Amino acid sequence: MTRFDLHGKKAIITGAGRGIGKALALGIAEAGAEVAVVSRTASDLQEVVSAIEAKGGVAFPVEVDLTVSDAADRVVKKVVEGLGGVHILINNAGMNIRKKAHEVTEEEWDRVLDLNLKAAFFMSQAAGKIMCEQRYGRIVNIASVAGVEALRTGVAYGASKAGLIQMTRVLALEWSKFGVNVNAIAPWYFRTPLTESLLNEEAFVQEVLQRTPSGRIGDVEDLVGPAIFLSSDAASYISGQTISVDGGMSIYGF
């Protein structure tokens, strides 16, 4: 359907080198957008760019550490110069340090919050200025059910994702009148490099599955459809919302 068609749109996807970000980059490109893939790792970027180009898409690599001062402004400027604009931003870059709350250090807290929340805000700010001026834009923040439900050994991560969800609401309140819709997706456990070690523990997997009505661990492809939807004109009257993509987990909590 044309409402889901992203041809003519320029998209930025952070943390696009692997895992969820890679799947989203490939999916958004397949839907027709020209995609700027952002990552700290050059080899990961090249692999994603090659995969997009092999399918006839347009990919623009940006190697950067988003926690560095002014990185967001530099990324958006480079993308606008390279692709000719920006219409879609997917803030996916993130990390987790799994520790009991009394063991978390200040340095670890800052590392998680700087990437998961601070970088997402300043990327949104830099892209949002352009989107508001052109009176069109779609921002999709990859949050987590951890921003709503309390998950063990994830205090900094949970705080960052809760902040991301509230940031989504505030930005939507301020920018929707300019045609800029801001929404979030909250995944449960998906098989990615970030969760690989946990999901190799059978006891942990069984505990997760007991709280997942769909009875399976998520696949990154399960996130592509919701991301395309929120990035498209099909979601033109949706803003400030967080869609849980969790196999029904949020029915139970954890």
In a domain, residue 157? The reply is yes
**CA pseudo-torsion sign 201, 142, 117, 13:** positive
Q: Which domain covers residue 122, as residue numbers?
A: 2-191+219-245
In a domain, residue 202? The reply is no
- pLDDT of 1 reads 58
Strands laid side by side in the 59-63 sheet: 59-63, 34-39, 10-14, 88-91, 137-142, 180-187, 242-245
In a domain, residue 104? The reply is yes
- pLDDT of 20 reads 97
pTM, 2 dp: 0.95
Taking the alpha carbons at both ends of the chain, their separation in whole angstroms is 37
In a domain, residue 31? The reply is yes
Of 63, 57, 94, 65, which Cα lies nearest the Cα of 78?
63
In a domain, residue 79? The reply is yes
| CB-CB contact of 120 with 160 (8 Å) | no
In a domain, residue 250? The reply is no
Q: Give the count of domains, the chain.
A: 1
Phi and psi dihedrals of 200, rounded to 5? Answer: -90, -5
Phi and psi dihedrals of 131, rounded to 5? Answer: -60, -40
- pLDDT of 92 reads 98
- pLDDT of 44 reads 95
| Series of mean pLDDT values for 10-residue runs along the chain (254 residues) | 90 97 98 98 96 98 97 98 98 94 96 98 98 98 94 92 98 98 96 85 90 93 98 98 94 63
**CA 151 – CA 161 distance, rounded (Å):** 12
Q: CB-side exposure of 118: number of CA atoms within 13 Å?
A: 15
- pLDDT of 174 reads 98
DSSP 220: G
**What CATH code is carried by the domain that includes residue 65?**
3.40.50.720
User: Which residues are the active-site residues?
Assistant: 157
In a domain, residue 252? The reply is no
- Please tell me the total number of residues recorded for the chain in this structure: 254
**CA 165 – CA 184 distance, rounded (Å):** 7
**CA 40 – CA 138 distance, rounded (Å):** 24
- pLDDT of 251 reads 82
In a domain, residue 213? The reply is no
